[in-house]
Structure 1
Amino acid sequence: MREEGAATTSPKPAPFLTDEQRAALDQALRDKAAEQAKARAAANHKAAAASGERKSRSVKGPGGAKKGGGGGKYTWGSLLTNGAGDEVVDRNDPNYDSEEDTRDVVLLRNHQAAVRQEVAAYKEHIRSLIEEYFCSGSVSDVADSLEDLGAPHLSHYFVKRLLTAALDRKEREREMASSLLSGLYAEVIPPDQLLKGFTSVFACLPDLLLDVPDAPDLLARFVARAVVDDVLPPAIVGAIDPESCPAARDLRQRCEVLLAGRHSAEKVLRCWGGAGTGTLHPDSQAAISSLLSEYLAARDEAEVGRRLRELGLPFFHHELVKQALMAATDNPAHLAPVVALLASLSSSGQVSCSQLAKGLRRVADNLADAVLDNPAVGQRFGEVMQAAKAAKVFDDLQPEDVGANAAAALFGSSTTPTAASGPSANGASPAAAAAGVVVSMPPGLAAFKAASLAAVREYFDSQDAAEVAASLLALDEPGLHPLFVKAAVSLALDRKDRERELVSKLLVALVPQVVSTEALAGGFTRLLAASDDLVLDVPDAVHLLSLFLGRAVVDELLPPAFLTQVLSSLPAEGLGVSVVRSAGLLLGARHGTERLVNCWHGGALDVGAVRQAIREAVQEYGSSGDVSEVARCLRELEAPAYGHEAVVAAIELAFNRYHGSAPAASETASAPSSPAEAAAPVVALLASLAGQGVLTATQLAAGVGRVKAALEEEVMDYGPSARAVLDWITERGVAEGWLAA
Structure 2
Amino acid sequence: MAMDRHDKEKEMASVLLSALYADVISPSQIRDGFVMLLESADDLAVDILDAVDILALFVARAVVDEILPPAFVTRAKKTIPESSKGFQVLQTAEKSYLSAPHHAELVERRWGGSTHITVEEVKKKIADLLREYVENGDAFEACRCIRGLGVSFFHHEVVKRALVLAMEIQSAEPLILKLLKEAHEEGLISSSQMVKGIARLAESLDDLALDIPSAKTLFQSIVPKAISEGWLDPSFMKSSGEGVQMQAEDKKLRRYKEEVVIIIHEYFLSDDIPELIQSLEDLGMPEFNPVFLKKLITLAMDRKNREKEMASVLLSALHIEIFSTDDIVNGFVMLLESAEDTALDILDASNELALFLARAVIDDVLAPLNLEEIGSKLPPNCSGSETVRMARSMIAARHAGERILRCWGGGTGWAVEDAKDKILKLLEEYVSGGVVNEACQCIRDIGMPFFNHEVVKKALVMAMEKKNDTMLDLLQACFDEGLITINQMTKGFTRIRDGLDDLALDIPNAREKFSFYVQYAQEKGWILPSFGSSAADVSLTNANST
Alignment TM-score, normalising by the size of structure 2: 0.61
Q: 2:323 aligns with which of 512, 515, 534?
A: 515
Structure-2 residue corresponding to 1:152: 40
Contact 1:322 1:363 in 2 (8 A): yes
Does residue 212 of structure 2 align to residue 374 of structure 1?
A: yes
Structure-2 residue corresponding to 1:736: 517
- Structure 1 residue 322: Cα displacement: 2.0
Q: 2:368 aligns with which of 560, 577, 597?
A: 560
Structure-2 residue corresponding to 1:276: 115
Structure 1 pair 469–133 and aligned structure 2 pair: CA distance change class (3 A) = farther
For residues 674-711 of structure 1, give each alpha carbon's deviation from its aligned partner in whole angstroms, at most 9, with x where no partner exists: x86xx3323443687697246465479999999x99xx
Does residue 503 of structure 2 align to residue 692 of structure 1?
A: no
State how far apart, in whole Å, the 2-side matches of 1:450 and 1:444 are. Answer: 10
- Structure 1 residue 582: Cα displacement: 3.2
Contact 1:648 1:703 in 2 (8 A): no
Does residue 308 of structure 2 align to residue 496 of structure 1?
A: no
- Structure 1 residue 455: Cα displacement: 2.9
- Structure 1 residue 636: Cα displacement: 1.8
Contact 1:486 1:523 in 2 (8 A): yes
Does residue 458 of structure 2 align to residue 624 of structure 1?
A: no
- Structure 1 residue 611: Cα displacement: 5.5
Does residue 521 of structure 2 align to residue 682 of structure 1?
A: no
What root-mean-square deviation, in Å, do the aligned CA atoms of Structure 1 and Structure 2 show? 5.9
Alignment of structure 1 residues 597-636 onto 2, 5 Å: 597-604=405-412, 606-607=414-415, 610=419, 613-614=422-423, 617-618=426-427, 619=429, 622-625=434-437, 629=441, 632-633=444-445, 636=448
Structure-2 residue corresponding to 1:83: none
**Unaligned stretches of 5+ residues in structure 1:** 1-126, 167-171, 195-228, 231-267, 408-413, 420-440, 656-674, 710-725
Does residue 359 of structure 2 align to residue 525 of structure 1?
A: no
Structure-1 residue corresponding to 2:162: 324
Alignment of structure 1 residues 459-470 onto 2, 5 Å: 459-470=267-278
The SS at the match of 1:585 is: helix
Residue type at the aligned position of 2:144: R
- Structure 1 residue 729: Cα displacement: 9.5
Contact 1:643 1:699 in 2 (8 A): no
State how far apart, in whole Å, the 2-side matches of 1:532 and 1:303 are. Answer: 33
- Structure 1 residue 363: Cα displacement: 3.7
Structure-2 residue corresponding to 1:395: 229
State how far apart, in whole Å, the 2-side matches of 1:610 and 1:299 are. Answer: 59
Alignment of structure 1 residues 187-206 onto 2, 5 Å: none
Does residue 473 of structure 2 align to residue 587 of structure 1?
A: no
For residues 538-591 of structure 1, give each alpha carbon's deviation from its aligned partner in whole angstroms, at most 9, with x where no partner exists: 342332222222222232222332233444333332334433333333334443
Contact 2:181 2:231 in 1 (8 A): no
For residues 115-163 of structure 1, give each alpha carbon's deviation from its aligned partner in whole angstroms, at most 9, with x where no partner exists: xxxxxxxxxxxx9998369759xx9997786448884368649x99xx9
Alignment TM-score, normalising by the size of structure 1: 0.48
Contact 1:644 1:703 in 2 (8 A): no
Residue type at the aligned position of 2:351: H
Contact 1:175 1:277 in 2 (8 A): no
Structure 1 pair 328–549 and aligned structure 2 pair: CA distance change class (3 A) = same
State how far apart, in whole Å, the 2-side matches of 1:448 and 1:572 are. Answer: 31
Does residue 146 of structure 2 align to residue 308 of structure 1?
A: yes
Q: 1:506 aligns with which of 310, 314, 327?
A: 314
Q: Pick which of 320-329 and 446-455 moved more.
A: 446-455
Contact 1:318 1:358 in 2 (8 A): yes
Structure-2 residue corresponding to 1:90: none
Contact 1:644 1:699 in 2 (8 A): no
Residue type at the aligned position of 1:509: A
State how far apart, in whole Å, the 2-side matches of 1:274 and 1:394 are. Answer: 37
State how far apart, in whole Å, the 1-side matches of 2:263 and 2:347 are. Answer: 26
- Structure 1 residue 535: Cα displacement: 3.5
State how far apart, in whole Å, the 2-side matches of 1:192 and 1:518 are. Answer: 43
State how far apart, in whole Å, the 2-side matches of 1:301 and 1:692 are. Answer: 66
The SS at the match of 1:515 is: coil
State how far apart, in whole Å, the 2-side matches of 1:178 and 1:367 are. Answer: 28
- Structure 1 residue 487: Cα displacement: 2.7
For residues 57-85 of structure 1, give each alpha carbon's deviation from its aligned partner in whole angstroms, at most 9, with x where no partner exists: xxxxxxxxxxxxxxxxxxxxxxxxxxxxx
Contact 1:647 1:700 in 2 (8 A): no
State how far apart, in whole Å, the 2-side matches of 1:699 and 1:140 are. Answer: 56
Larger Rg: 1
Structure 1 pair 308–379 and aligned structure 2 pair: CA distance change class (3 A) = same
State how far apart, in whole Å, the 1-side matches of 2:63 and 2:371 are. Answer: 37
Structure 1 pair 442–269 and aligned structure 2 pair: CA distance change class (3 A) = closer
Contact 1:175 1:274 in 2 (8 A): no
**Unaligned stretches of 5+ residues in structure 2:** 1-12, 66-71, 87-95, 98-106, 522-534
The SS at the match of 1:604 is: helix
Q: Pick which of 695-704 and 547-556 moved more.
A: 695-704
Q: Percent identity?
A: 27
State how far apart, in whole Å, the 1-side matches of 2:314 and 2:115 are. Answer: 37
For residues 67-109 of structure 1, give each alpha carbon's deviation from its aligned partner in whole angstroms, at most 9, with x where no partner exists: xxxxxxxxxxxxxxxxxxxxxxxxxxxxxxxxxxxxxxxxxxx
Structure-1 residue corresponding to 2:382: 574
Structure 1 pair 189–313 and aligned structure 2 pair: CA distance change class (3 A) = farther
Q: Which has the higher contact order (CA 8 A, sep 6+)?
A: 1
Structure-2 residue corresponding to 1:443: 251
Alignment of structure 1 residues 348-363 onto 2, 5 Å: 350-351=188-189, 359-360=197-198, 362-363=200-201
Q: Pick which of 366-375 and 349-358 moved more.
A: 349-358
Contact 1:617 1:633 in 2 (8 A): no
Structure 1 pair 632–506 and aligned structure 2 pair: CA distance change class (3 A) = same
Does residue 283 of structure 2 align to residue 478 of structure 1?
A: no
Residue type at the aligned position of 2:115: G
Contact 2:319 2:365 in 1 (8 A): yes
The SS at the match of 1:396 is: coil
Which one has the bigger helix percentage? 2
